Chain A
Amino acid sequence: MLLALFSIKCKFTCFNGTLYHKPHNTAHLFYIHLPTDIISTVEFNHSGELLATGDKGGRVVIFQQETENKCQPLSRSEYNVYSTFQSHEPEFDYLKSLEIEEKINKIRWLPQKNAAQFLLSTNDKTIKLWKISERDKRPEGYNLKEEDGRYRDSTTITTLRVPVFRPMDLMVEASPRRIFANAHTYHINSISVNSDNETYLSADDLRINLWHLEITDRSFNIVDIKPANMEDLTEVITAAEFHPHQCNTFVYSSSKGTIRLCDMRASALCDRHSKLFEEPEDPSNRSFFSEIISSISDVKFSHSGRYMMTRDYLSVKIWDLNMENRPVETYQVHEYLRSKLCSLYENDCIFDKFECCWNGNDSVVMTGSYNNFFRMLDRSQRRDVTLEASRESSKPRQVLKPRRVCAGGKRKKDEISVDSLDFNKKILHTAWHPQENIIAVATTNNLYIFQEKVN
């Protein structure tokens, strides 16, 4: 259980284009606060060595883990900038006279097959496959060119030599390998790589498409919930994910609080679900906002593939894939907001889409909240903690202090009252290292990385 976390130095330098890697002992880095740097997605790769963030400006920044002592487990790690590139540019849809935002909605890493790394990044309409490769050698000793690239005067060439590769400063290059475009009428909210490493799905508000990683001009539509008459529309798809081991199985969640599990072997079009996960509504809690707060903002399979977790506005639910009628566990994230739903509806906060994540062994789940708080919920020990990601509370090496919110009545010392919460400071995106107890938490435009304290 992570009760003791401290902050890793996580400041970073951002350049546009290729980042030249500095040896870490010379790093002098600073925070950047551009509005377009609102972080919109955070994702560790499969080994946890790389951490990718996407922002509202269409840029992807990748951090690389550097461990103090690789041999010693749980030694202090650092994440430094590895690569930065502009993934998506703003576009204009001439047909609808509307802009297409360049904001990166999701990043998903492909499992590593060779020296290069691949990731999929998507904005509202277009998915791109990026290859990130390193170059640490360069050829030297050309016959016709000088070292700086200028051509030599041919009369001065008197000898012939063979160019050799010599080490150079590490250079990380990102290049787009595939562009999967024009398949979505509505806004893409999820992408998920299949366990077969050949296909992936992309989901928008009303449809889910299946792609092959090599083929960009075709995709198969596997789910379509668009009604014949748009006026009859009452439900949209909010998230979708492939099963981590079964390449024929995927789930998608809806704005009505249901999760549908589909088997692609059953039919080409998976409009008919194989399983429908839905918890009956609690009649005592019914209000006009019941449907809105039941809308699922994120769905994630556990690493084992046995469970899945869903996040709705006020709670996190763990479902056993074998039981459809109710979740096996329910955790309240910020129940003190239940009495404030109308205000949250007024200021649109009720529509915030919080994400959630599992830790490596599926024993702890994490999700974000307001006021830069995030919650860690230990399933095995039935304990939970609220922590804050802010510069004041995150001095390097300082252990994070648990926070408490006072719902009403007398406020104790160190508690913060509900009315003082800052609803502009929301943590929507969090990620957990697949093997170690290292977490990445994104506030509006800062990224915090915390590691478990080793005694």
Chain B
Amino acid sequence: MSACILVFVSTVLGCHYVVRLLPLWLAGHRDRSRPAMFSKGTKRKFSDGEDEMPDDGLAGAKVASSAYSLQRQSLLDMSLIKLQLCHMLVEPNLCRSVLIANTVRQIQEEMTHDGSWQVVSDSLGVEGSPSERLVATEVLCRSPSPSSTLSEQELERDTEPRLYSLVSYDDSSCREEEVVAEVIEDDNEALCSEAASNVCLSGTMSHCWEPGELRVQQNNDDICEDSRLGSGDEDVDVEEEDEDEEEEQEMSQKESKTMGQVFGTFEIKNGSSGSESALEELFSDVDASYYDLDTMLTGMQSTPKIGPYDLLDNLGPSHGPTSIGSTANCRSDLNELDHIMEIIVGS
């Protein structure tokens, strides 16, 4: 039994910061087996000069206020992730999204009042953070446990592969889906995007995300491009952002964008979506195996939903775990598709 530890490298408007989720409030669920990871991340987190954490990990932290802000930060991160991860095929639950969004707002307000709204800038792309990512990889790739008592990995539910895509859209444009993890070929820097809550994971983790990615790429081709292009103006490299106010503003902008995006999903598309949906349709026939994986990953255990993709019914192991073969297959297909999309959208 281990505690839930998740480390993301989040990229928000060009700033990298390490986001840790440490449910300290789980009584008696401290992970003593991995003290190194705790302390490593801890030091980075508090490199700005906050209290030095003892080496035996945060679990031993005595300072109530820093524990509280850690908890609060964890809650914020968890909430942001929840807002992003939603079912692919079915509309997400509006009530749940609203409640999570309100929680995020609440935390943000409190953090701005405290003046503790800081972004730990980081040269993660340069420094050795691969171990962090590897840890996260391991956690994310862990298969969900069969039971789900409180003593088990709560976050495993969140790491179920079905949840890895952001469904968001603007009233003024067509439906967007932003890839949560984008394949990075050469360097390990995550790509920036306009969406505040876009969590981009590095390439080393991409293989865990691919199944979710595939479907997303399918439907989302040109918008991925947009998000990349849109953020091309931003400085992709790490920036130092020390101003609370700036962050505040950005955060509220981001959040309002997030809210808009999350709730925007529930609006009906307007006419400008014509060409994009045609594009979607075009590529919906490209490779039915993507939908196969999607069926599996959305956790449907029995007959797949009847829909336009009736191919689902006839496809292979739609209920089994991802095999390594199909993963590798999908990875190359994904790159290819990516490439194709770039060309098409470019023209």
A residues less than 8 Å from B25 (CB atoms): 339, 342-343
B207 contacts A by Cβ under 8 Å: no
Nearest chain A CB to B104's CB is how many angstroms away? 10
Known contacts A97-B280, A340-B150; is-contact A255 B95 (Cβ 8 Å): yes
Known contacts A36-B303, A96-B91; is-contact A255 B99 (Cβ 8 Å): yes
Known contacts A291-B103, A340-B150; is-contact A236 B95 (Cβ 8 Å): yes
Structural contact, A423 and B308, CB atoms closer than 8 A = no
B residues less than 8 Å from A16 (CB atoms): none
A residues less than 8 Å from B90 (CB atoms): 98-101
Tell me which of A99, A238, A295 has the highest count of chain B C-beta atoms within 10 A of its own C-beta.
Answer: A99
B residues less than 8 Å from A217 (CB atoms): none
A362 contacts B by Cβ under 8 Å: no
B residues less than 8 Å from A158 (CB atoms): none
- Of B58-66, B130-138, B259-267, the one contacting chain A is B259-267
Structural contact, B157 and A347, CB atoms closer than 8 A = yes
- Of A226-234, A262-270, A277-285, the one contacting chain B is A226-234
Tell me which of A35, A291, A342 has the highest count of chain B C-beta atoms within 10 A of its own C-beta.
Answer: A342
Nearest chain A CB to B337's CB is how many angstroms away? 18
Bitwise interface map of B from 251 to 279 toward A, beta carbon under 8 Å scored 1, else 0: 00000100110011111110000000100
Bitwise interface map of B from 82 to 109 toward A, beta carbon under 8 Å scored 1, else 0: 1000000111011110110111001100
Q: Which range holds the interface residue count of chain B?
A: 35 or more
Nearest chain B CB to A98's CB is how many angstroms away? 5
Nearest chain B CB to A310's CB is how many angstroms away? 15
A89 contacts B by Cβ under 8 Å: yes
A90 contacts B by Cβ under 8 Å: yes
Structural contact, A288 and B75, CB atoms closer than 8 A = yes
B residues less than 8 Å from A345 (CB atoms): 75, 78
Bitwise interface map of B from 133 to 170 toward A, beta carbon under 8 Å scored 1, else 0: 00000000000000111110011011000000000000
Structural contact, B23 and A343, CB atoms closer than 8 A = yes
B306 contacts A by Cβ under 8 Å: yes
A97 to B277, CA, bound (A): 9
Nearest chain B CB to A33's CB is how many angstroms away? 11
Bitwise interface map of A from 397 to 422 toward B, beta carbon under 8 Å scored 1, else 0: 00000000000000000000011111
Q: Which of A92, A205, A342 contacts B307 (CB 8 A)?
A: A92
Interface of chain A residues 195 through 242 with chain B (CB within 8 A)? 205-206, 229-231, 233-236, 238
Nearest chain A CB to B196's CB is how many angstroms away? 12
Tell me which of B93, B98, B147, B301 has the highest count of chain A C-beta atoms within 10 A of its own C-beta.
Answer: B98
B residues less than 8 Å from A231 (CB atoms): 256, 259-260, 263
B residues less than 8 Å from A15 (CB atoms): none
Structural contact, B149 and A230, CB atoms closer than 8 A = no
Structural contact, A351 and B96, CB atoms closer than 8 A = yes
Closest to B269 in A: A95
Known contacts A92-B308, A288-B72; is-contact A97 B175 (Cβ 8 Å): yes
A186 to B259, CA, bound (A): 16
Structural contact, A295 and B307, CB atoms closer than 8 A = no
Structural contact, A295 and B266, CB atoms closer than 8 A = no
Structural contact, A343 and B94, CB atoms closer than 8 A = no
A454 to B259, CA, bound (A): 56
Known contacts A187-B91, A424-B148; is-contact A346 B154 (Cβ 8 Å): yes
A14 contacts B by Cβ under 8 Å: no
B residues less than 8 Å from A288 (CB atoms): 72, 75, 103, 106-107
Structural contact, A421 and B150, CB atoms closer than 8 A = yes
Q: Which of B71, B154, B302 contacts A347 (CB 8 A)?
A: B154
Bitwise interface map of A from 89 to 125 toward B, beta carbon under 8 Å scored 1, else 0: 1101001111111000000000000000000000010
A348 contacts B by Cβ under 8 Å: yes
Structural contact, A422 and B147, CB atoms closer than 8 A = yes
Structural contact, A423 and B302, CB atoms closer than 8 A = no
B121 contacts A by Cβ under 8 Å: no
Structural contact, B4 and A346, CB atoms closer than 8 A = yes
B37 contacts A by Cβ under 8 Å: no
Known contacts A205-B94, A343-B150; is-contact A185 B155 (Cβ 8 Å): no
Known contacts A98-B89, A99-B305, A348-B157; is-contact A233 B259 (Cβ 8 Å): yes
B219 contacts A by Cβ under 8 Å: yes
A residues less than 8 Å from B345 (CB atoms): none
B26 contacts A by Cβ under 8 Å: yes
A289 contacts B by Cβ under 8 Å: yes
A3 contacts B by Cβ under 8 Å: no
Known contacts A36-B302, A340-B150, A351-B95; is-contact A230 B269 (Cβ 8 Å): no
Structural contact, A234 and B148, CB atoms closer than 8 A = no
B residues less than 8 Å from A235 (CB atoms): 98
Structural contact, B93 and A187, CB atoms closer than 8 A = yes
Closest to A238 in B: B95
Nearest chain B CB to A105's CB is how many angstroms away? 12
B residues less than 8 Å from A187 (CB atoms): 91, 93-94
B residues less than 8 Å from A351 (CB atoms): 93, 95-96, 99
Known contacts A34-B302, A343-B26; is-contact A230 B264 (Cβ 8 Å): yes
Bitwise interface map of A from 17 to 42 toward B, beta carbon under 8 Å scored 1, else 0: 00000000000000000111000000
A289 to B154, CA, bound (A): 17
Closest to B155 in A: A346
A292 contacts B by Cβ under 8 Å: yes
Structural contact, B150 and A99, CB atoms closer than 8 A = no
Structural contact, A185 and B150, CB atoms closer than 8 A = no
Nearest chain B CB to A422's CB is how many angstroms away? 6
Structural contact, A289 and B103, CB atoms closer than 8 A = yes
A residues less than 8 Å from B149 (CB atoms): 419-423
Structural contact, A98 and B148, CB atoms closer than 8 A = no
Structural contact, A347 and B148, CB atoms closer than 8 A = yes
Q: Which of B78, B95, B301 contacts A346 (CB 8 A)?
A: B78
A124 to B93, CA, bound (A): 11
Closest to B89 in A: A99
Nearest chain B CB to A32's CB is how many angstroms away? 12
A185 to B303, CA, bound (A): 27
A67 to B266, CA, bound (A): 48
**Can you list 16 pairs linking A and B with CB atoms under 8 Å apart?**
A35-B302, A36-B302, A90-B307, A96-B269, A187-B91, A205-B94, A234-B102, A255-B98, A288-B107, A295-B95, A295-B99, A343-B25, A343-B150, A346-B158, A347-B155, A347-B157
Instruction: Kindly list 9 other residue pairs between chains A and B, CB separation below 8 angstroms, not including A98-B89, A348-B157.
Output: A96-B91, A101-B305, A230-B267, A235-B98, A255-B95, A291-B106, A342-B26, A348-B82, A423-B150
